[in-house]
Amino acid sequence: MTRTASRRTVLAAALTAALSISLTTPALAKETVKLGFIGPLTGGVSNMGLGGRNSAELAVDLRNKDENAKYAYELVPLDDECKPNVGVQVATKLATNRDVAGAVTHYCSAVAMGTVDIYHKFNLPIIVWGAVLPDITYGNEYAEVHRVNGTMINQNEVAADFMVAQGYKSWAIIHDTTDYGKGHNTYFTKFLTEKGGKILGTFGVTSDQQDFTAELTKIKELNPDVVYFAGLTPLAVRIRQQMDKLGIEAEFQGVSGMKSDAYFAGLSGDLAEGTVTFLEGAPAAKLPGGAYFMSEYDKAGFGENYEAYGPFAFAAMNLLIDAVEKVGPDRKAVTKYLADVKDHESITGPISFDDHGQNTVALITKYVAQDGKWVVWEDSEYASGKRQLKHK
Amino acid sequence: MDIGLLGQYLANGVMLGTMYALVAVGFTLFFGVLDVIKFSHGDVLMIGAFTGFTTYLGIVAIGIENPWVALVAVLVVSIATTAALGALIARYLVLPLKSAPPLNILLITLMLGTALREGVRLFYPDGSNPKAFPALLPTASLELGSFSLRADSVILVSAGIAVIIGLNLLINRTRLGLAIRAVAQDEETAKIMGINYTMIVLVTFAIGSGAAAFAGIMNGLYYNEVNFGMGLLLGLIGFSAAIIGGLGNIYGAILGGFLFAGLQTVGAVALPFASAYKDVFAFGVVIALMAWKPTGLIAERSSDRV
């Protein structure tokens, strides 16, 4: 037993020596560390997932090119389809693979809620890159779970403030009945009522519902200033489309889950124009390391856009790699390292985790749909007064 | 509630009801002729919608801009392809299993539906994402107080109802319909009377699948979106509609379709609890109705045969 082992080591050493002499590439001598990525790579929000995956891949590739890196990194990307049942399967697959030292996971809150228990059970340190439900970090005491992006608490406070300041008085709320939609509904309702906004009606819808005419006709009767939708892009497209069919003239307000270019691809004509939404963080161009990220992303030549949460996926993967560089590919050591992250430099700004592993950044950006693009509110023609949001 | 809104609910319900009825008619035709339940019906509908969508892309690619030409091409290609698919399913999956227990046919079509659905998801370019179906109909709308009626909705509902009436006439007034009814009533006797049994079965499946393709296109035009999973719930609703109406009876299917749409609308609007439960409510009522009238509201005329 020992003899075979030692013989193998000698052989491996000889091979490595021979290879490094013949190829003179030091990278080959490095130990390979596997890091996971989970996001929706197919399905209605796959553009978000693919953007996140590409960004995580970029972080890995850039580090692999760095000669000072102690390890060679390999990305293991898995698809959760934004479905909790599939998410649990792939999370288990990842967590039970002992070669994986850590992972950057989940865009969909409903999926993340189902998988955090698995990461805890198998001691796999993870950093959430896109899901915004507060309970993912605050609903448990798991040391393994961290998050670089902000939560929907911050997002809805800013949203309520902003919309009230625009002079709107009454709202109708449509939310999908996943944890994501329900969470947004809870926080938005809370902040809006505090600030004096009036909610005329709240409608829960299933996350694959096709027909909203019944709910929307009821909303038409209630006649609110604003229709607030908490859910993801595919439903947002259908609701906006059907609002127009029923002749509802209210302003359409969304949440982070629909800040995607697919919103414009799915809508015909200029229906998207003037929709407002909110997102944690800031657009890539306005981030401290944004210019660097965007130029590297362009250079890598990915087929898809990095989308809203790409920079977070990049920052999360970078932080994870930094941890492995520091303490080695050991799950418990990485978890311990992440617990003490404070003012860690990243392209999204300094990252500091609180005792629940939540990044304390509360930067929220407001967006408005203008000419088929999401434009930062302050830079838009709506803010300058050239165009007007819908007021009845 | 003012009268305009009531009209709006009614218009929404009629639109949904027409779509459900078109799907339910297919289930009823298949059951009437062969006593089989074809669970892949909803996914055949989805194939119809995707064929239509692909045809539209092709039409645009060769430079034809006229929406009416595009619409006709979309309808013709989609209905023809889907009808052929329906006949193929009948010939190679359903007929060979005719003497097997009915459960086998149910199972094989259930699996076929999953295969079709996953096939589109995996092999259609970017198939897992929803596709923006073009608005080919005029979108002018008529505003009467709080009631807004759009030209495209009116055209869709009229076309849908025309198709249902056409199917009804076809079944009840033509020689082909007579043959279909003869096969439905007694296969052996129909054969003795010189009716080409296999041909009639294939034609019936083609007709039912064509109607599903029409419903798929209608769905795409109305919601301006198609996706690979659209047939799942529509198939289930169409099936339930056919059952509450009375399987095997075309009027029952129509009644069931509109009834189900009405239940959903009532569930979303008039009930005190959250609208998320509208499907629970609608299916709950269906269960109650089935307990009350196990053979459906309008029973198949020959259901007492032995």
Top-level class of domain A29-150+285-361: alpha beta
Whether A392 has a pLDDT exceeding 80, the answer reads no
What is the pLDDT, as a whole number, of residue B3? 79
Residue A182 has a CB neighbour count (10 Å cut-off) of 18
Query: The CATH number of A153-280+366-379 is which of 3.40.50.2300, 1.10.10.10, 3.40.50.300, 3.90.190.20?
Result: 3.40.50.2300
More confidently predicted of A99 and B269: A99
Q: Residues A213-271: pLDDT tens digits?
A: 888 988 988 999 999 999 998 899 999 989 988 889 899 999 998 988 888 887 877 88
In a mutational test of the B interface, the residue from A202, A245, A392 whose CB has the highest number of chain B CBs within 10 Å is A245
Considering only residues A62 and B11, tell me which one the structure prediction assigns the higher pLDDT.
A62
Nearest CA in chain B to A205: B276
Question: pTM score, two decimals?
Answer: 0.76
d(CA A235, CA A212): 9
Q: Are A268 and B12 within 8 A, CB to CB?
A: no
CA of A129 vs chain B CAs: smallest distance (Å): 22
Beta bridge partners of B254: none
CB pairs under 8 A between A and B: 89
Instruction: Judge residue A175's burial from the number of C-beta atoms within 10 Å of its C-beta, 0-12 exposed, 13-18 middle, 19 or more buried.
Output: buried
Calculate mean pLDDT across residues A104-120: 95
Provide the pLDDT for residue A11: 58
Quote the percentage of chain A above a pLDDT of 90. Answer: 66
Pinpoint the alpha helices (H) of B174-196: 175-185, 187-192
Q: In this structure, are residues A100 and A94 in contact, taking their beta carbons and an 8 Å threshold?
A: yes
CA distances from A137 to A77, A114, A152, A324 (A): 22, 12, 12, 22
Whether A217 sits inside 8 A of B12 (CB atoms) is yes
- pLDDT of residue A13 exceeding 80: no
Chain B residues close to A245, C-beta within 8 Å: 148, 150, 153
Interface of A with B (CB under 8 A): 42-44, 46-47, 177, 202-206, 208, 210-211, 213-215, 217-218, 220-221, 234, 237-238, 241-242, 245-247, 262, 265-268
How far apart CA A392 and CA B13 sit, in angstroms, is 27
- How near does any CA of chain B get to the CA of A41, in Å? 10
Instruction: Using an 8 Å CB-CB cutoff, list chain A residues near B269.
Output: 214, 217-218
* Domains of chain A, residue spans: 29-150+285-361, 153-280+366-379
| A313-324: average pLDDT | 95
Indicate if A153-280+366-379 has the same CATH topology as A29-150+285-361.
yes
At residue B49, the 3 state secondary structure works out as helix
Query: What mean pLDDT comes out for the span A104-117?
Result: 95
Residue A115 above 80 pLDDT? yes
**Which residue numbers of B have CB closer than 8 Å to A's CBs?**
1, 5, 8-9, 12, 15-16, 121, 128-130, 132, 134-135, 141, 143, 146, 148, 150, 153, 219, 223-225, 227, 229-230, 233, 264-265, 267-269, 274-276, 278-279
Taking each helix axis from N to C terminus, what angle separates B3-34 and B197-223, rounded to the nearest 10 degrees? 160
Highest mean pLDDT among A8-17, A191-200, A212-221, B293-302: A191-200
Residue range A10-33: mean pLDDT, rounded = 60
Distance from the Cα of residue A194 to its chain's centroid: 28
C-alpha to C-alpha distance for B306 and B301, rounded to whole angstroms: 13
- The mean pLDDT of A51-68, rounded to a whole number, is 94
Measure Cα distances from A12 to A2, A6, A26, A33, A73 in Å.
Answer: 15, 10, 15, 18, 20
φ/ψ (deg, to 5) at B148: -120, 125
Q: Which residues contact B255 (CB under 8 A, 6 or more apart)?
A: B245, B297, B298
Note the pLDDT of residue B136: 87
- pLDDT at residue A354 is higher than 80: yes
Which among B141, B230, B268 has the least Cβ separation from residue A214? B268
Q: Give pLDDT, residue A299.
A: 93
Mutant choice from B53, B128, B147, B279 vs A, greatest count of A C-beta within 10 A: B128
Model confidence band, residue A1 (pLDDT cutoffs 50, 70, 90): very low
- Whole-angstrom distance, CA of residue A9 vs CA of residue B279: 64
- Give the CA angle between residues A174, A176, A178 to the nearest 5°: 150
Burial of residue A199, with CB atoms counted within 10 A of its CB: 0-12 exposed, 13-18 middle, 19 or more buried: middle
Q: What is the mean pLDDT of residues A116-131?
A: 95
CB A126 within 8 A of CB A146: yes
Q: For chain B, what are the domain ranges? A: 29-238
- 3-state SS string for A94-160: HHCCCCEEEEEECCCHHHHHHHHHHHHHCCCCEEECCCCCCHHHHCCCCCCEEECCCCHHHHHHHHH
Residue B137 DSSP SS3: coil
Q: Are A39 and A49 spatial neighbours (Cβ–Cβ below 8 Å)?
A: yes
- For position B1, what pLDDT does the model report? 58
- Interacting residues of A171 by C-beta distance below 8 A, sequence separation 6+: A163, A192, A197, A198, A199, A200, A224, A225, A226, A227, A228, A253
Which of A214, A238, A247 comes nearest B265 by C-beta? A214
A202, A206, A221 ranked by CB distance to B5: nearest:
A221
Q: Inter-chain contact B8–A220, Cβ cutoff 8 Å?
A: yes
Partners of A43 on chain B (C-beta within 8 Å) are 128-129
> In which residue ranges of chain B is pLDDT below 50?
303-306
Q: How high is the mean pLDDT of chain A?
A: 89
